[in-house]
């Protein structure tokens, strides 16, 4: 029989079945992958328009390098099988290097790094261009030490986008989303949800940073729009602008003890943002430093004003260094609304006279703002050259603002709408209050066209439909349900080697005294029993007393850490001997608990496995009496926690299923490839009928088994 012809015709007939499985073959554009090596193999073949699909489950300690190239309109995509269904933890990280790449649907949760970046838009020397991170979450990716510094998402290259992502509870030094590198880069950060960033002890805890002090003269042209920030209190700068020509628009900041800070550089636009303080302590607005900035159409409500004012025009330094305070010049502050804030709307020349900051703001226009803050003045601070015009205020007075540019009214010009957004009253003092000669904004905060003359404040009185408003969690972030509990998020059990300590391959008695390890039943042990050391005096030289021998099989080549679940019962019953490598006498002392409680103990040595097709011998020796060992786990990557190890032990070593031919504990298209290779080679392992002959019906039978999958 011509096996090759049979395979080709039957494989063509079964392609629809494989696609229905969510799997792939050489004929499809989807590559279904279950581990890192399969991702790398898929990248060798994938190109524009193709998709690499990561199977749902926990991926632990994965250093993914997504390198390749798509094309305009035909991106190369790496995505989760189900959005949110791929959970990356441990020391997992992702590098994106190439052009027109898309990553979507991943969930990084519960892991940590020592340094670097959880996700970065570069890989090796290859930076990303025209690439997208979408529909992805990073949650609680924190180290044990809050001072450990690394970044969650770093943008390098040109024209990359981070959109519809979710970032929660970053509690360590480092920026959540950071823009680096080539200029102008035209990156976009939009429709993301940033939640619960606890306050850090120092600088460097920003939620977004665009640029660094070293590049303040360079134009970035990054767009940050339509993001929701809630309780992102890492430091005073929730957004830190440190490069030129960036735009921050249509964002919502809620209950945030921080400010949007134009820290260095020039030409930033802050437009159409909602700052909703909810009277949270140290909630703030905008800090302005440097030349050429525009701050207009913003809405500030119930802010405490941690800088002494809601909008702070900072004093500058003469000949300021890159990391210093450049003087404020050529700034326009227009059409902003202030409601029930606890500080003046403006502080002029903030920190004038301190640390060499002697230059007040100059060539500044403050025009068409609407202030409704009973009990607070319009402005504090003095100095500089400022043109005030057509501002309307209801409060306790102008403060240091001039009467020529601020009209103080006797009644509140605002009214509440159904969405809680305070708007100017039709026919009230803000209506048509801004002269066409000083009008700045063409549209208002809701995207409605402004009339001429226009209304003071962020909102134009209009019957037109609003295009924008304050954002809520329903408007931004990932498409999948974050409230669905994914279950215990532990390491991927398929990566490790598991040993029940009570099941040694042999128990040796080197001194032939009959005193040897024995098995004792125990209902709280993982396998219902433990290996217990016999009663006798302490053994001071490893290997002279009883030794338990284990033959260990590993799922793949690599370097493994070893963990022992053991316990002792007193200070003279809390240690055993462990080895420094495979097949050697155990001579190193491993200390256990002494209170009868099982703990995981990590051995300091790492074990190298060059060939997973053979077994490796592990030897454990007795040192003190009554010590009990429950289980032993070998696992690659960074050190695991007690809870990680408990989850692994509870999961146990996965069992291979019938159609799984490549040993990855899944039934997918890669197994089909293995099966077809066996069939073509005439290997009776492909005989699914068991009749001792290879027939085309064997292939059909295997495809049906593949469709059934692994339980």
What gap in Å lies between CA 89 and CA 185, rounded to an integer?
A: 30
For residue 181, being part of any structural domain is answered with no
Same domain, 283 and 421: yes
Q: How many domains does the chain have?
A: 4
Domain boundary among 599, 618, 651: 651
Same domain, 707 and 630: no
pLDDT of residue 710: 66
Same domain, 459 and 531: no
Across the chain, what does the average pLDDT equal?
89
Q: Both tokens of residue 253? A: 């900041």
Domain boundary among 174, 194, 226: 174
What gap in Å lies between CA 706 and CA 694, rounded to an integer?
A: 18
Pairing relationship of beta strands 76-80 and 346-350 according to DSSP bridges? unpaired
Q: Which one-letter DSSP state was computed for residue 328? A: P
Tell me the average pLDDT across 477-487.
83
Same domain, 697 and 578: no
DSSP state string for 388-428: EESEEEEEEEEETS-TTTEEE-SS--EEE-TTS-EEEPTTS
pLDDT in tens, 615-667: 999 999 999 999 999 999 999 877 788 888 888 888 766 666 677 776 665 67
pLDDT in tens, 128-155: 999 999 999 999 999 999 999 999 999 9
For residue 254, being part of any structural domain is answered with yes
Tell me the average pLDDT across 481-486.
77
Confidence at 486, pLDDT banded by 50, 70, 90: low
Among candidate residues 61, 72, 76, the one with its CA nearest the CA of residue 30 = 76
pLDDT of residue 692: 86
For residue 468, being part of any structural domain is answered with yes
Tell me the average pLDDT across 465-489.
87
What gap in Å lies between CA 638 and CA 80, rounded to an integer?
A: 24
pLDDT of residue 488: 62
What gap in Å lies between CA 239 and CA 224, rounded to an integer?
A: 10
Same domain, 247 and 389: yes
Phi, psi of 682 (to 5 degrees): 75, 20
Same domain, 542 and 461: no
Confidence at 697, pLDDT banded by 50, 70, 90: confident
Strand partners, 559: 608
pLDDT of residue 556: 84
Same domain, 427 and 538: no
pLDDT in tens, 354-393: 888 999 999 999 999 999 988 899 999 988 899 999 999 9
Same domain, 286 and 371: yes
Same domain, 463 and 509: no
Same domain, 516 and 441: no
pLDDT(439) > 70: no
Pairing relationship of beta strands 547-552 and 616-622 according to DSSP bridges? antiparallel
The domain in which residue 99 lies consists of 26-174
Confidence at 707, pLDDT banded by 50, 70, 90: confident
pLDDT in tens, 57-104: 889 889 999 999 999 999 999 999 999 999 999 899 999 999 999 999
Q: Which one-letter DSSP state was computed for residue 219? A: B
pLDDT(21) > 60: no
What gap in Å lies between CA 334 and CA 337, rounded to an integer?
A: 9
Structural contact between residues 75 and 132, judged by C-beta atoms closer than 8 angstroms: yes
Confidence at 280, pLDDT banded by 50, 70, 90: very high
For residue 187, being part of any structural domain is answered with no
pLDDT of residue 578: 95
Mapping DSSP onto H, E and C, the string for 221-244 reads CCEEECCEEEEECCCCEEEEEECE
Per cent of the chain over pLDDT 70 is 92
pLDDT in tens, 229-242: 999 999 999 999 99
For residue 18, being part of any structural domain is answered with yes
What gap in Å lies between CA 684 and CA 678, rounded to an integer?
A: 8
> What is the CATH number for 396?
2.160.20.10
Structural contact between residues 549 and 507, judged by C-beta atoms closer than 8 angstroms: yes
User: In 10 A of CB 125, how many CB atoms?
Assistant: 6
pLDDT in tens, 528-584: 999 999 999 898 876 678 999 999 999 888 889 999 999 999 999 999 999 999 999
pLDDT of residue 542: 65
Tell me the average pLDDT across 252-262.
97
Same domain, 148 and 234: no
What gap in Å lies between CA 162 and CA 157, rounded to an integer?
A: 13
Q: Which one-letter DSSP state was computed for residue 706? A: H
For residue 211, being part of any structural domain is answered with no
Burial of 508: CB neighbours in 10 Å, binned 0-12, 13-18, 19+ = middle
Among candidate residues 4, 49, 55, the one with its CA nearest the CA of residue 670 = 55
Number of helices (H), then strands (E), belonging to the chain: the values are 5, 54
For residue 104, being part of any structural domain is answered with yes
Same domain, 362 and 224: yes
pLDDT of residue 25: 38
> What is the CATH number for 535?
2.60.120.260
Give the angle subtended at the CA of 675 by the CAs of 674 and 677, to the nearest 5°: 65
For residue 456, being part of any structural domain is answered with yes
């Amino acid at each position: 029989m011509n096996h090759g012809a049979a395979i080709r015709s039957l494989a063509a007939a079964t392609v629809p079945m494989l696609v229905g499985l969510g799997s792939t073959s050489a004929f499809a554009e989807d590559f279904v992958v279950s581990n890192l090596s399969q991702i790398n193999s898929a990248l060798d073949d994938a190109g524009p328009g193709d998709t690499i699909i990561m199977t749902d489950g926990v991926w632990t300690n994965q250093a993914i390098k997504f390198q390749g190239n798509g094309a305009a309109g035909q991106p190369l995509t790496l995505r989760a099988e189900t959005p949110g269904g791929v959970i990356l933890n441990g020391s997992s990280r992702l590098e994106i290097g190439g052009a027109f790449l898309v990553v979507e649907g991943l969930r990084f949760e519960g892991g940590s790094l020592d340094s670097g970046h959880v996700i970065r838009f570069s890989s090796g020397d290859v930076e990303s261009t025209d690439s997208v991170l979408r529909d992805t979450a990073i949650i609680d990716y924190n180290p044990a030490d809050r001072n450990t510094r690394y970044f969650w998402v770093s943008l390098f290259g040109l024209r990359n986008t981070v959109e519809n992502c979710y970032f929660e509870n970053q509690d360590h030094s480092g920026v959540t989303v950071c823009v680096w590198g080539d200029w102008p880069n035209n990156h976009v950060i939009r429709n993301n949800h940033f939640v619960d960033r606890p306050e850090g002890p120092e600088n460097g805890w920003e939620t977004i940073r665009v640029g660094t002090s070293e590049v303040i003269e360079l134009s970035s042209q990054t767009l940050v729009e339509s993001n929701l920030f809630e309780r992102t209190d890492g430091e005073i700068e929730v957004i830190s602008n440190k490069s030129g020509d960036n735009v921050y628009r249509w964002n919502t900041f809620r209950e945030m003890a921080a400010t949007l800070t134009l820290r260095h550089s020039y030409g930033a636009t802050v437009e159409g943002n909602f700052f909703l303080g909810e009277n949270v302590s140290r909630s703030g607005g905008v800090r302005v430093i440097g030349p050429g900035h525009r701050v207009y159409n913003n809405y500030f409500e119930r802010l405490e004003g941690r800088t002494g004012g809601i909008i702070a025009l900072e004093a500058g330094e003469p000949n300021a260094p890159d990391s210093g305070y450049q003087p404020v010049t050529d700034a326009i502050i227009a059409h902003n609304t202030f409601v029930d804030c606890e500080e003046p709307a403006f502080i002029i020349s903030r920190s004038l006279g301190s640390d060499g900051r002697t230059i007040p703001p100059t060539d500044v226009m403050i025009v068409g703002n609407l202030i409704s803050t009973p009990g607070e003045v319009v402005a504090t601070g003095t100095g500089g050259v400022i043109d005030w015009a057509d501002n309307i205020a209801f409060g306790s007075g102008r403060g240091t603002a001039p009467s020529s540019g601020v009209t103080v009214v006797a009644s509140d010009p605002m009214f509440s709408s159904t969405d809680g957004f305070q708007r100017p009253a039709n026919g009230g003092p803000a209506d048509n209050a801004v002269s066409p000669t000083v009008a700045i904004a063409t549209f208002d905060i809701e995207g409605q066209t402004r009339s001429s003359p226009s209304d003071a404040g962020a909102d134009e009185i209009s019957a037109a439909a609003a295009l924008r408003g304050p954002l809520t969690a329903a408007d931004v972030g990932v498409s999948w349900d974050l409230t669905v509990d994914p279950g215990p998020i532990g390491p991927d059990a398929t990566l490790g080697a598991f040993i029940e300590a009570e099941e040694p391959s042999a128990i040796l008695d080197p001194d032939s005294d009959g005193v040897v390890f024995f098995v004792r039943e125990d209902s709280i042990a993982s396998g219902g029993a433990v290996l217990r050391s016999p009663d006798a005096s302490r053994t001071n030289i490893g290997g002279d007393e009883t030794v338990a021998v284990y033959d260990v099989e590993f799922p793949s080549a690599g370097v493994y850490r070893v963990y022992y679940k053991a316990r002792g019962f007193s200070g003279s019953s809390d240690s055993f001997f462990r080895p420094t490598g495979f097949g050697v006498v155990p001579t190193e002392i491993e200390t256990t608990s002494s209170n009868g409680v099982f703990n995981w103990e990590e051995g300091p040595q790492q074990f190298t496995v060059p060939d997973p097709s053979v077994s490796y011998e592990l030897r454990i020796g007795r040192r003190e009496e009554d010590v009990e060992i429950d289980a032993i786990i070998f696992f690659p990557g960074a050190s695991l926690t007690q809870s990680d190890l408990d989850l692994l032990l509870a999961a146990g070593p996965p069992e291979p299923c019938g159609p799984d031919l490549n040993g990855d504990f899944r039934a997918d298209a890669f197994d089909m490839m293995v099966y077809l290779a066996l069939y073509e080679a005439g290997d009776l392992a492909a005989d699914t009928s068991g009749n001792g002959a290879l027939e085309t019906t064997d292939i059909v039978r295997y495809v049906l088994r593949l469709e059934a999958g692994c339980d």
